[in-house]
Amino acid sequence: MRPGCTPHCRPWAACSRCARARSAPTPTGWTDVTAITSSAPGKLFLLGEYAVLHGAPALLVAVDRRVTVTVVPAGSWRLHAQSIGIQHLDLDDEGQLPAALNAQTRSTLRLFDTVRAAVRAQAGGGPFEISIDSAELSRDGHKLGLGSSAAVASALTAALARASRLYLDRAALFTLAQSAHRAAQNGTGSGGDVAASVYGGLLSYAVGATPVPLQWPNDLTMLAVVTGEGSVTTDLVGRVNDFGAEHPLQHAQDVARLTRLAHTAQSALADRAEFLRLIDDYFTALARLDSHAEAGIVTARHRELRVVAQRAGGVFKTSGAGGGDVGLAFSASGLAAERLAAALTDAGASVVPLVLGAEGTRS
């Protein structure tokens, strides 16, 4: 870190001194580190879902629940990931998954393997003993829909790179983590969730562009609400893609409607009433897409919570791919937010305590 910078410079890409420091050659006299620990935040998609896959900007915010990865130089490769039931898994001499591993466990660890391969392709390194803790992004054994895979990709890439003496600025970290994350998801996904985990804060994100940092409005409150037992993003996106292949005209019309709304998100943040209307309009447009695609984006529980929020003076929408992941309820701050929270609780909804605008990946 250079004089004048702080550990919280954000985004790194905007701080040339931090970027140069992290991409500089290894200093003379640098000694082996016994352990490297990196962490990355979860995220929430506020607006732009599905449209972002077609070039529209999306609005995302990092949250204060984090994935933590620790990498320690060791005599052989070993993986611990107790949050997903992996304990003391011995890897081969290159850090690859053992050949005898069953198909289900291999699938669960596909992201780990793609990140490991991506970092080793650039820096070599190892052998390492690796621990991955993603428990904060789950509840009662179910993912909350806070982007745990993107946070794992970001934190694991950062930790392995640093342990291998590969120094990355934010942009390079995003590129490497997103490449591995996308490969693990068979080429699906926009990269917005990885961008939120790497850069942190509140972001406007579009594929192929540098994320734009934004400020959260002081008069706006958002609550994250449990709506089910989690969903698989690739399944939901796959169904929408199948719909697009079968009914390209209707799909194009539905996506165009979402895209027009997504392009107004950044300017709408300046006016709370306008932003709340936009959130409601976007949920309506998502529901319309879902009614045509029959993908399961919008559930009966989502519709119930929308009515609850409206009666309390707020608005509600799905987050990310939708399905059983968390939903989002918005209102004015202060007493209005307290009324909304009480109404959701009375309706049997569980509000997830979150701090918005969390710091991005750190080591």
If asked whether residues 62 and 182 sit together in one domain, one would say: yes
Mean pLDDT, residues 280-301 taken together: 94
CATH number, residue 204: 3.30.230.10
3-state secondary structure of 27: coil
Q: How confident is the model at residue 326 (pLDDT cuts 50, 70, 90)?
A: confident
Q: Is the pLDDT of residue 183 over 80?
A: yes
The pLDDT of residue 30: 31
In a domain, 245, yes or no: yes
List the CATH number of the domain containing 269.
Answer: 3.30.70.890
| Higher-scoring residue by pLDDT: 340, 24 | 340
Torsion of CA 290, 350, 201, 231, to 10 degrees: -40
Say if CB 318 and CB 327 are below 8 A apart. yes
Q: Which two three-digit tokens encode residue 238? A: 């796959």
Alpha helices (runs of H) in the chain, residue ranges in sequence order: 16-23, 103-108, 110-123, 148-163, 170-184, 192-199, 233-246, 248-262, 265-268, 272-293, 300-311, 335-346
> For the residues 103-129, what does the mean pLDDT come to?
95
Q: Please tell me the predicted confidence (pLDDT) of residue 228.
A: 67
Q: Check whether residue 49 and residue 198 sit in a common domain.
A: yes
- The answer to whether position 1 is within a domain reads no
User: Quick check: is 228 in a domain?
Assistant: yes
Distance CA 326, CA 317 (A): 9
Structure tokens at 318: 């799905």
pLDDT of residue 184: 94
Rounded-to-integer distance, Cα 336 and Cα 235, Å: 36
Residues 179 and 259 grouped into a single domain: no
Q: What distance in Å separates the CA atoms of residue 330 and residue 352, rounded to the nearest whole number?
A: 14
Question: Are residues 189 and 67 both part of a single domain?
Answer: yes
- Residue 192 three-state SS: helix
Question: pLDDT exceeding 70 applies to what percent of the chain?
Answer: 90
**Domain presence at residue 252:** yes
Q: Does residue 226 sit in the same domain as residue 201?
A: no
Q: What is the mean pLDDT of the chain?
A: 89
Tell me the per-residue pLDDT of 32-73, one tens digit each, with 9 for 90 and over. Answer: 457 999 999 999 999 999 999 999 999 999 999 999 999 999
CA distance 349 to 273: 25
**Residue where a domain terminates, one of 184, 214, 244:** 214
- The reply to whether 100 and 174 lie within a common domain is yes
Residue 14 has pLDDT above 90, yes or no: no
Res. 12: pLDDT tops 70: no
Q: Answer whether residue 360 is part of any domain.
A: no
Q: Is residue 83 part of a domain?
A: yes
Whether 3 is covered by a domain: the verdict is no
Shared domain check, 251 and 158: no
Assess if residue 6 is contained within a domain: no
Q: Which residue has the tokens 């994935």?
A: 67
Q: Exposed, middle or buried: residue 121 (CB in 10 Å: 0-12, 13-18, 19+)?
A: exposed
In this structure, the answer to whether residues 166 and 313 fall within a common structural domain is: no
Chain centroid, CA 227 distance in Å: 18
Q: Is the peptide bond before 11 cis (omega within 30 degrees of 0)?
A: yes
Number of domains present in the structure of the chain: 2
Half-sphere exposure of 122 (CA within 13 A, CB side): 23
61/153 same-domain check: yes
Q: Is the model's pLDDT at 98 over the cut of 80?
A: yes
Lowest-pLDDT range of 24-38, 202-216, 268-282, 295-309 = 24-38
pTM score of the predicted model = 0.87
Last residue of a domain, one of 155, 182, 214: 214
Q: Cα-flanking dihedrals φ and ψ of residue 314, to 5°?
A: -115, -170
Q: Between the CA of residue 7 and those of 30, 121, 252, what are the distances in Å?
A: 20, 28, 44
Quick one: 151 and 239 in the same domain?
no
Residue bearing the bigger pLDDT, 12 or 288: 288
| pLDDT at residue 231 in the model | 65
Is residue 243 domain-shared with residue 171, that is, in the same domain? no
Q: Which domain holds residue 169?
A: 12-214
Q: Residue range 243-259: average pLDDT?
A: 96
Q: Tell me, what's the pLDDT at 229?
A: 57
Cβ–Cβ under 8 Å, residues 221 and 332: yes
* b/e code 205-218 from CB counts within 10 Å (16+ = b): bbbeebbebbeebe
Residue where a domain terminates, one of 214, 243, 272: 214
191 and 306 assigned to the same domain: no
- CA–CA separation, 280 vs 12, rounded Å? 33
- CA 185 to centroid of chain Cα atoms: 13
Instruction: Give the pair of three-digit tokens for residue 215.
Output: 């400020």
By DSSP bridging, strand 36-47 and strand 78-81 are unpaired
